[in-house]
Amino acid sequence: MLTPLHQKSSVTEIETRFENDVERFSNLETGQGATIDAPLAMELITAAAIAATPVITRVLDIGCGAGNNTIKLLRGYSGDFDCDLNDLSKAMLDRARQRVAQETKGNISTIQGDFRTASLQDGSYDVIMAAAVLHHLREDQDWLEAFSKIHRLLKPGGSFWITDLVSHENSHVHELMWRRYGDYLEGNGGEEYRKKVFDYIDKEDSPRSVTFQLDLMKKVGFETVDILHKNSCFSAFGGIKGTGMADSGR
């Protein structure tokens, strides 16, 4: 990536882009076309959430988009639970509420804005999901504060699951994986499509490696972490908050 972190898109600029991009995030079968293995990653994080957290009463979907991951989780769980849907875009939230309401009798709340500044109750969620959203975090402190808040929001024994664009620790491996991603994009839409996607990634995104994020999850108090899947520059992974007093009090 060439654009310095301080020159990346602001929260307001990201919100504006997503306000005009609802339809691309509304297909449960394909997910986002620019994301490698999007349907598989969605299937894996929702299945892992159910396996790790057998009793689900309340879920937070950070950067919910049009609600795909919450819908997938509801269908896999085969039961109702309350859904808190968070996104920068009101248009996304409106679509997500409409779609999720067809899947559950639980309460649905929409929370517009940056989840880091949203008023959310600590220890209130069984499952938190963040799909294609955390790569918008910038400096190390942003990442630390975001992961710390997510850990606090979970109930003891709750789980947190991520699917996202990722970077790599080694520069040579990083170049290899991004070259492979470029080949994938060209195969889907040609050289112009590849350039378009890479340009907005450069302007808007600041992904970190899976290893960085797993280490950070352990640092803020997650008891266990797991990688579910990785293909080129995309990965699905997560962690479980411990049930002990020491863990829940961090």
Domains and CATH numbers, the chain: 11-168+207-244 (3.40.50.150)
Calculate the alpha carbon distances from 49 to 30, 43, 88 in Å.
20, 10, 24
> pLDDT tens digits, residue range 81-107?
999 999 999 999 999 999 999 999 999
Q: What is the mean pLDDT of the chain?
A: 89
Rounded CA-CA distance 155/163 in Å is 21
Structure tokens at 73: 């989780």
Q: For position 97, what pLDDT does the model report?
A: 97
Q: For position 160, what pLDDT does the model report?
A: 98
Residue 28 backbone dihedrals phi, psi, to 5 degrees: -70, -30
State the helix-helix crossing angle for 68-77 and 90-100, rounded to 10 degrees. Answer: 20
7 pLDDT band, cuts 50/70/90, is confident
Query: What is the mean pLDDT of the segment spanning 225-240?
Result: 97
Q: What ranges make up the beta strands (E) of 91-185?
A: 108-112, 125-131, 154-165
250 pLDDT band, cuts 50/70/90, is very low
> pLDDT tens digits, residue range 196-214?
999 989 988 999 999 999 9
Going by the DSSP 8-state scheme, the letter that residue 67 receives in this structure is S
User: Is a pLDDT exceeding 90 seen at residue 32?
Assistant: no
- Cβ(99)–Cβ(110) below 8 Å: no
User: Is a pLDDT exceeding 60 seen at residue 110?
Assistant: yes
b/e per residue 181-208 (b: at least 16 CB within 10 A): bbebbeeeeeeeebeebeeebebbbbbb
User: Is a pLDDT exceeding 60 seen at residue 20?
Assistant: no
Give DSSP secondary structure letters for 171-232.
HHHHHHHHHHHHHHHHHHHHHHHHHHHHHHHHHH----BHHHHHHHHHHHTEEEEEEEEEET
> pLDDT tens digits, residue range 116-145?
999 999 999 999 999 999 999 999 999 999
